[in-house]
Each structure stands twice: as structure tokens, then as C-alpha cells.
Structure 1
Amino acid sequence: MTAAAEKTGILGIAREQVLERGVGLSQEQLVEVLNLGDDKLEELLGLAHEVRMRWCGPEVEVEGIISLKTGGCPEDCHFCSQSGRFPTPVRSAWLDIPGLVKAARQTLAAGATEFCIVAAVRGPDERLLSQVRDGIKAIREDGNDIQIACSLGMLTQEQVDELVEMGCHRYNHNLETARSHFPNVVTTHAWEERWETLRMVRAAGMEVCSGGIIGMGESIEQRAEFAVQLAELEPDEVPMNFLIPNPGTPYENYPIVEGPEALRTVAAFRLAMPRTMLRFAGGRELTLGDLGAEKGMLGGINAIIVGNYLTNLGRPASQDLDMLAELKMPIKALNETL
């Protein structure tokens, strides 16, 4: 560390360490970033954007998601309206294969290069894997070459191998929050079980997608812990979600994360993982709104989910695509994701 960096505080240190050398911040350094005042927010966002541009480039990856199996999940994730343990309005339902093909076609037409098939389960049984297999086959027979990702819960090694054989190139399984906070969020399985699934996915050659939700009662220190734990995982993609206090869940009365706090967290995660794809996901419309979304795209984000988020509505895909055009951010072409 140079004397000049020391004099300019944590942002000067981050400029030298992350922007110049590509080395993510430590947990202690991230706590400093997360405790910066609002008067430093614009400078922080500007630095995070510089880091994104230097180590990831200007392109933005656009993704759509679809729920193949909705509701009725046996797990007790306290934020989730799809848990069968809570009195939420969501009821169990399956999407048929024609519906899956139609959704993939619409996702491609919206300009996305990634289509993620999601199921509300602890882990996939044979019925679900068969549905995914038939769905992927039908999407390909429809002439759609969009990249297909899956999010089907915790996996065995055999199931990992099956998904590779099906042509799933990226697997999403969120760690959700810091290891120290996880028992306050989920009690029906352990953080380590999620980590093991991700380890097997990485070893099998699939891309790893893992992020979490900000605003579930975690401390600033635990947000920093979470970012460092994700960095250790070395995921290809990190979805950044902000808590939506869904009715009927244990978190239904939790406060919405305020915009400046959300943006500061996004920038901190970029400074922890300079080379990782950071994706705006659920809750951004609620906590940030249109202006905040633009600031996030100029504050470290380089990927975005368009359309709806499973049981929660997003804004129209056209709005996000118009925003990217106004910001002069090119959308990653399909052939660049192969």
C-alpha cells in the first residue's frame, strides 16, 4: 500500500488494490466501505463502475427466468413465499412443456441470452429432472439456441452429471446470506449443504451462479462476511437481490432496504469480486426504482434479469432494454456466452 493510498482512506486503498491490481477487498475493508456516509456514495459508485469496466468490460448479460414448479416447497426459507410451511397466497403448480417453450421463445425475443429454469424444491426428484430434460429438448427442437441455466435446489453428484448431460451450462444455487447468519434465515438445511452442491457443480464444469438477498436482518459485518465468502467460491455470476417482504412469510414486516444502502452494498460486492458478473435481480424495483437502477448499472452491476421474478412482478423488459440503450451499454451477444 502506498502512502498516498493510506492518506485517501478506504476508497484510495480500493482504487489501488482493486482497480489497479484486481485484488478484492478483505472483510475488514468491506466493513469500512459499507460504513461510508452518503456523502461518499457517488465517489464509491464511480469507483465500482471503473472496476467493472476494467475487469469485466462494458457488456451487460440479460437473462429471463421461469418457474417450472411453483410453491409447495418443504423448506422454511423465511423470505420465500413458495415455502409450503407458511400461509402465503402462493399455491403449488407446474408449468407444462409448451408453456416452457413459449417462455424461452419470449425470453430470446426480449434480447436475453440466458434462460433459467427454476423449481421450488429442496432438490429435484426424477419427475422434475424428467420435466427439465423434456423441456430443454423441446426448446432446442423449437430452434431456440438460448443458453439454459437451472435452479433446482440441492443436488447429488448423479444429478449434477445428469444436468451436464442435458446441456445445462450454468447452475444457480444461492448461498442467500453469510454463513453466520444463515441459521436465522433457514433451519431445515445447512449453509454447508448449499456450498457442497456448488462445489460439485464447479467440478463438473458447469458455470456457478450464487448470490443472495440483502435486508434479512443481517448486520453490516455479516454483509461483508457474505461478500468474502462468495468471493472464495469464485462464482461466475452473483445475483443481487433485495428483500421483498412477502405476505405470509416470517419477514413480511421487515423494512425495505433504502436506496443508498442498496447501492452501497452493490458497490461493495463489486469491490470484493472485481471479475465476477453481478446481476440485478429481485427487489431492485422496490428498493431502488428507475433512477436507482440506472445508478446501480453505473455502480458495478453488469448483468440484469428482465421481466418477472417467479412470484413477484418486475418491470417490463422493454424498460430495462431502453435503460441500457440510454446508458450506451451493449448487450452481450448470444454467441459470446457459448
Structure 2
Amino acid sequence: MTTVHTVLDDAERIVLDEGTPLDVERVLAVLELPDDAVADALDLAHRVRMRWCGAEVEVESIISVKTGGCPEDCHFCSQSGLFVSPVRAARLDIAELVEAAKQTAKTGASEFCIVAAVRGPDERLMSQVEAGIAAIHAEVDIDIACSLGMLTREQAERLASWGVHRYNHNLETARSFFPTVVTTHTWEERQQTLTTVADVGMQVCCGGILGMGEGLRQRAEFATELAAVNPHEVPLNFFDPRPGTPFAHLAVLPATDALRAIAAFRLALPRTTLRFAGGREITLGDLGARQGILGGINAIIVGNYLTTLGRPAESDLDLLAELKMPVKALDAAI
């Protein structure tokens, strides 16, 4: 009979001592731990993070250059043009983009991510992004990431040549659950973009959303599928129901389940940057930010998200200072 003692002792030996990710069955066992074992799982996840990643926390801000009007039907997303939601299509100009990058740098963030709600970038968007990156680099010392949907190899090569060091394209959920979440493109199409991104030398940022109705086994599958992509960074989002979307009726993930997942994903991804992203405020509240940072999280998106409000940047930075977790400096290699 598998016990809490066995699950965590095995994880400590495999992950903490050896640096080897947990397989799907062991990740599932962590996700099935009883509530009174969650604190011990988070403690182990924190020790894994400190050993294999260090104490530094990477801070990032994101901004959308094109909001709404997306042709895809991601059932969680209020930016889809196929759903009736409060989000309306809008675009930022270059001056607004540069100002946002400046404000991001003032928070101490080392990365600024340019996002667009599209299936993939057309030439107009690519040209806007190129001009925006050049303008930001001329005025702001900050790393630039992008999230522009599915890419061709030629588009990925261009982004890399403009100095984009990291590209975000989320798998969103387990391969087995993906058709329940999206029908206008496939999990495999997303995976191909990630392969292309890695091939051209950009860092891979790939995560997803927990709490969209997937089972615990599918959650475990997702963690190990992400590990197989070998991402530099995994943003963990927690489902936040958006009005007008097909998933608007789903409940918010219970906080204890979210904390269990943070520990499990750290144990599946011991050497990866694990980033707090959307939904943590509604799922975990202020206490959850502390528990996550002391439970395996080593990166944060500060400020607001694409269509939802986040915590004030100052709150997260004050917490990091209180916990004596240094903010990662700008990557000198970029």
C-alpha cells in the first residue's frame, strides 16, 4: 500500500537527491496526497527548487499588442472572436509599447513579453513587433519575449534575429484533454511550434491552465508532457472563469488542489523556471503567493494579465524582499 511517507520519500530520493523528474504515476501520487500532507509536499518542492534552480526569482510583465478578435475557440478565453464576451478588439501603437516596457523595467522586472491574440502572426503583426522591439531596445534595457501564436520556421527565425530570447506558446492542458478545450487547432500543432522555437535557438516557454475540468491523471500527464518539451519556463495559470466563454460555468480550483499542483509540477520539472501566472489571485489569494514562493515557484508575472487584474507589482516585490528571495537580474548574455 502506497503511503504519504512512501510518496514523499520516493520523490525526495528521485528529485531532490538525483535531480530526476517524477514520472506520471509518481506525479499522480503527489496530486492524490491528502490535505494534511500538502505542507510537506510544498516543503519538498521548495527544497528541490532551491537545490536545482537557486533562490533567484524571475520577474516579468506582459502586454497585449492585439487584444480580442482571435479566430480560435479556446473555451477558456474571452479574447476569442467566436464568443460573446466583454473583451473588444484593440491594438497598441509603438509609443504605448515602449512606455509599457519602461514601466515594466521600473518594477525591477528583467523580462517584457509582447502578446497577441491570434492563431499566428500575419505580416502586419510581424512588422509591428519588429518595430516595437527595435524601439524598446533603443530606450529600455530589458529582455524581450513574445507570444504570438503558432509560428512558421521563417517567422521564428525572424523573431530570433530581432533579439527575442524566449517564446511562449502554451500547450494549455494534457494532450488527452485538449480536444475538450480547443477544436480549431490541435495539440500537435502547438507542439510543432515549440519544436521550431527550440530549433532556431529561442528559449521555450510553455505552460497552461489548471482547473478546466481535467482529471488528476490528466493533470499528471500534462506535467510530464511539459517536461518532455524541455522548456526553460513553465507558466502555471489557474482557471479564472470568463463571462461569455464556454467554460464560464466552471468553478474555481480549490486552493489546496492548486497548492498540491504547484508541488507536483515542481517535482515533475525540477530544473525549470516555474512561473506564477493568471488566476493565482482568485484561486490562492495573498497567502497563496507566499505559499507558492515557498513551495516551488521561482518566477512571477507582476501587474495585470491580458484580460484580468493581477496583484500590484509592489506587493509581489515586497514579498520577495521579506522572504529574502533575490530578483533575477537582466540576463547578461542577451
Which category describes the TM-score, using the shorter chain as reference length? over 0.9
Partner of 2:38: 41
Q: Distance in 2 between matches of 1:337 and 1:269?
A: 28
Alignment-mate amino acid for residue 129 of structure 1: M
Pairing partner for 1:151 from 136, 147, 153: 147
Q: Distance in 2 between matches of 1:259 and 1:203?
A: 37
Q: Distance in 2 between matches of 1:234 and 1:172?
A: 13
Partner of 2:116: 119
Q: Write out per-residue CA displacement over residues 23-67 of structure 1, whole angstroms, 9 at most, x where no aligned residue.
A: 011101111100000110110000000000000000000000000
SS in 1 for 2:300: strand
* RMSD (Å), alpha carbons: 1.2
Q: Distance in 2 between matches of 1:225 and 1:294?
A: 27
Partner of 1:233: 229
Alignment-mate amino acid for residue 11 of structure 1: L
Q: 1:337 Cα deviation (Å)?
A: 6.5
Q: Is 1:10 equivalent to 2:7 in the alignment?
A: yes
Partner of 2:60: 63
Q: Is the 8 A contact 1:51 1:270 kept in 2?
A: yes
Alignment-mate amino acid for residue 320 of structure 1: D
TM-score w.r.t. structure 2 length? Answer: 0.98
Partner of 1:310: 306
TM-score w.r.t. structure 1 length? Answer: 0.97
Partner of 1:173: 169
Change (3 A) 1:336 1:277: farther
Alignment-mate amino acid for residue 281 of structure 2: E
Q: Which runs of 4+ in 1 moved over 3 A?
A: 5-8, 335-338
Alignment-mate amino acid for residue 142 of structure 2: I
Q: Distance in 2 between matches of 1:244 and 1:95?
A: 25
Q: Is the 8 A contact 2:238 2:280 kept in 1?
A: yes
Pairing partner for 1:266 from 243, 262, 268: 262
Q: 1:8 Cα deviation (Å)?
A: 3.2
Q: Is the 8 A contact 1:6 1:12 kept in 2?
A: no
Q: Is the 8 A contact 2:143 2:331 kept in 1?
A: no
What stretches of structure 2 of length at least 5 have no aligned partner?
none
Q: Write out per-residue CA displacement over residues 118-164 of structure 1, whole angstroms, 9 at most, x where no aligned residue.
A: 0000000000000000001111122x120000000000011011101
Partner of 2:24: 27
What stretches of structure 1 of length at least 5 have no aligned partner?
none
Q: Distance in 2 between matches of 1:234 and 1:252?
A: 32
Q: How does 1:79-158 map to 2 (within 5 A)?
A: 79-142=76-139, 144-158=140-154
SS in 2 for 1:288: helix
Percent of matched pairs sharing the same residue: 65
Q: Distance in 2 between matches of 1:286 and 1:6?
A: 32
Size of the aligned set, in residue pairs, is: 333
